Each structure stands twice: as structure tokens, then as C-alpha cells.
Amino acid sequence: MDKGIRNTILSTLAFMALILGLFFSSFLIPRPLTEEQRNELGLVLFESPRPLVDFEMQNQNEQLVNLDSIKGNWNIFFFAFTSCPDICPTTLSLISAAYEQFKLPVRVIMVTVDPERDSLDTLRGYLGSFNQEFIGYRGEFEETVKLAQQLNIAFGKIPGSQPGTYTMDHNASLALVDPNGNYVGFIKSPKSASNIQTIVNSL
């Protein structure tokens, strides 16, 4: 084969490989969301990541967990309780619907704000009804408050209509924690499965 023709073919193949690489990278590499898109999706990102202080709890499998336990992958934190009648099951269902479409490994962690009634067995059964991959955290009240405050989550006990009964009031935002254990932002409520999917796949 003529040397000039061979060089032309090689150059053409190299150019085609470059174009194909750019084409596929446009799908594989996450594109940062614009400010307008973030507002539409209900996403708030901080200018600087906020490192979390260490904590100690147990997961639904009775294993001790702390700050090191959440490093290595992205994390979605949701503070909730198993006897919640509406926003908690709705939110977990939305996350579960989006979960299979995530393009990167993500831990979904529900931290109970009602450790008095939510045993580890209760957490395990409750989360399993939404997604077997979801993780439940339970800690002493003071430890739960410490973690919640770091993630800008407020919660409290509300007396019920009958003596000795109560329910919990809590923030329904989803806190986003990066693989280094930094709180980087949150997803506001109300949410949708498609919004959660779009946000996570842009990280």
C-alpha cells in the first residue's frame, strides 16, 4: 500500500476514534447542572463542602457505624421514622424508584428520629419493604441530634391527642454527603423520582 494512502487512512481512523470518544464521554461524564436547573430540581449546593464531625450509631444489622463508614461513595441521608404516615414512605418510594437509574454507587441512609420506638429490627423490616439496599441508622438521641444539626435537619416530638402518645415533626430534605464525608448540599421537598435521578447522576 502506498505510504501516503496508509497515512491518510491512519489519520482518518484516529480522527474517527477521537469523535467517538468525545461522543461517548458526553454520556459518561456528568455535566454540572446550571443554577437554573438546580433551582428547578430543588437542589441546593454549598460554595464550599462542610466536613462532618465523627459520629457513632448502629445500622439495622447491629453493626457500629461512624464517619468512616460513609466514605468512599456518595450518600443520601434522610431523617425519618417508621410510624410516619405520609412524607417518609412517600420519599423512600421516590428514592427507590430513582435508585436503579443511578450511574454511580450511592448509599441511601435513613436515620431514625424516633429511636425510642424504632428498634433495629423495626428499621430492618421497614427499609426492606422499600429497597433491600437501603441502610438504617439508629443512635442515642444526643448522637442523632448532633448528626442532624450538621446536616441542617430539625426534628422534634409532638404530643398526640391521647395521653402518652406522640408523633415526630422533621425536616424532609435529602442531605448529600460526598465520598470524603463532606456535606455538600441538599434536595428540598417536595421531590420526584426523576429529579432525584437527575441530581444524583450530575454529581
The amino acid at residue 88 is: C
Residue among 129, 115, 124, 111 at smallest CA distance from 177: 111
The grid coordinates of residue 132 equal 433491600
- Confidence at residue 64, expressed as pLDDT on a 0 to 100 scale: 98
pLDDT at residue 24, as a whole number: 41
Q: Is the pLDDT of residue 196 over 70?
A: yes
Q: Kindly tell me if the per-residue pLDDT of 15 is higher than 70.
A: no
Q: Which residue has the higher pLDDT, 14 or 51?
A: 51
The answer to whether residue 99 scores a pLDDT higher than 70 is yes
Grid cell, residue 67, equals 464517619
- In this predicted structure, what is the pLDDT of residue 9? 55
The structural domains of the chain, with segments of one domain joined by +, span 1-30, 33-200
Q: How far apart are CA 119 and CA 121, in angstroms?
A: 5
**Is the model's pLDDT at 95 over the cut of 70?**
yes
Q: Given pLDDT bands bounded at 50, 70 and 90, which one contains residue 3?
A: low
Domain 33-200, CATH class in plain words: alpha beta
Question: 90 or 6: which carries more pLDDT confidence?
Answer: 90
What secondary structure letter does DSSP report for 178?
A: -
Which grid cell is 159?
404530643
Mean pLDDT of 170-185: 97
pLDDT in tens, 22-37: 444 344 455 688 999 9
The pLDDT of residue 190 is above 80: no
Name the percent of the chain in helix, strand, coil, to the closest 5. 40, 25, 35
Task: Give the model's confidence band at 21: pLDDT under 50 very low, under 70 low, under 90 confident, else very high.
Answer: very low
How far is Cα of residue 198 from the mean position of the Cα atoms in its chain?
12
Q: Which DSSP string corresponds to 114-131?
A: -TTT--HHHHHHHHHTT-
Residue 45, pLDDT > 90, answer yes
Cα dist from 186 to 16, 22, 154, 166, 182, whole Å? 41, 31, 14, 28, 12
